[in-house]
Structure 1
Amino acid sequence: MFESHLFVYGTLRQGGANPMHDFLARESDFIAHATWQGRLYRVDFYPGAVPSDDPAELVHGEVYRLRRPLFALAELDRYEACGPGFAHPTEYVRELHQVRLHNGHTIAAWVYIYNRPVEGLELIPGGDFFAAR
């Protein structure tokens, strides 16, 4: 079965005032607030997350269950400018990772990983893009 969970940590979160969050809200069900082991950087008006080997480094976000995962992920890939048809290296890559829900359970979810060098980018302390705004 194709994984239908998506972890979002930036402008696609609730309250992000992003039209693509409206798309996500129509095409999915909010599951829970969650964290993912990684570091979060300010790229521009949006963040980028990269994996971390340090369990203390967490990115805060939300998990959604996509109702039509193949359709929704194709649209989100276009929004994130990754996947077929985009010049490589793309700014993001979509990968399956374990995320921890607020209740302590872990699940597999798609995460858009920042795919460019992070040197010179501002590290967002605490890993919460909304708290850093």
Structure 2
Amino acid sequence: MAHLLFIYGTLSQTDNPVAHLLQNRLRYLFKGKIKGVLYDTGDYPGLIPDDKGNWVYGSICELDDDALAIIDDYEGYGENQEQPNLYLRLMSAVQTESSIISAWIYVYNRSVDGFEKIQSGNYQEYLQQKKSP
């Protein structure tokens, strides 16, 4: 079965081992954005949905059940993962250039107290700014 997934963080990085493993199993379709706030939790971002005018930017990709299971494991989501799960996988509205579609998203499932808000809502841009002197 084909699924749509909105990715916004480490799975977008070419040097990520899971992204590399899945490179032939994900088909990138287009860019998108969802209403929410992004936080720097350390090694990865945490997305918290909200309707206050903030946007998180990423890409929509298509993948099969097996690839989705691999990503569930990577994101710490599922019955066999630490409880409560690190992320929850939820269906959400994603805005594209031409329409609104429904896609899976991974939502951070822990407290964001003390974490820096990524003001731009763009994790890749944020990482580039952190590397710049």
TM over 0.5: yes
Quick one: distance in 2 between partners of 1:64 and 1:107? 12
CA contact (8 A) 2:2 2:62 kept: no
Quick one: distance in 2 between partners of 1:21 and 1:3? 18
Quick one: distance in 1 between partners of 2:45 and 2:17? 16
Quick one: distance in 2 between partners of 1:32 and 1:73? 18
Q: Name structure 2 gaps, 5 residues minimum.
A: 128-133
How many aligned positions are there? 127
Partner of 1:33: 31
Correspondence 1:61 to 2:55: no
What letter is aligned with 1:50? I
Q: TM-score, normalised by structure 2?
A: 0.89
Quick one: distance in 2 between partners of 1:17 and 1:84? 28
Q: 2:46 aligns with which of 33, 36, 48?
A: 48
Alignment deviations for residues 84-110 of structure 1 (CA, whole Å, 9 cap, x no partner): 211211110100101011x23111111
Quick one: distance in 2 between partners of 1:60 and 1:51? 12
Partner of 2:131: none
Quick one: distance in 1 between partners of 2:38 and 2:98? 21
Partner of 1:117: 111
Quick one: distance in 2 between partners of 1:3 and 1:41? 29
Q: Give the 4+ runs in structure 1 shifted more than 3 A.
A: none
CA RMSD of aligned residues (A): 1.4
Partner of 1:98: 93
Q: Name structure 1 gaps, 5 residues minimum.
A: none
Alignment deviations for residues 32-70 of structure 1 (CA, whole Å, 9 cap, x no partner): 11101100000112101010021x20001010011x2x2
Partner of 1:130: 124
Quick one: distance in 2 between partners of 1:16 and 1:41? 21
Q: TM-score, normalised by structure 1?
A: 0.89
Query: Identity of counterpart residues, as a percentage?
Result: 34
Quick one: distance in 1 between partners of 2:45 and 2:82? 20
Q: 1:75 aligns with which of 44, 62, 70?
A: 70
What letter is aligned with 1:10? G
Q: 2:79 aligns with which of 71, 84, 93?
A: 84
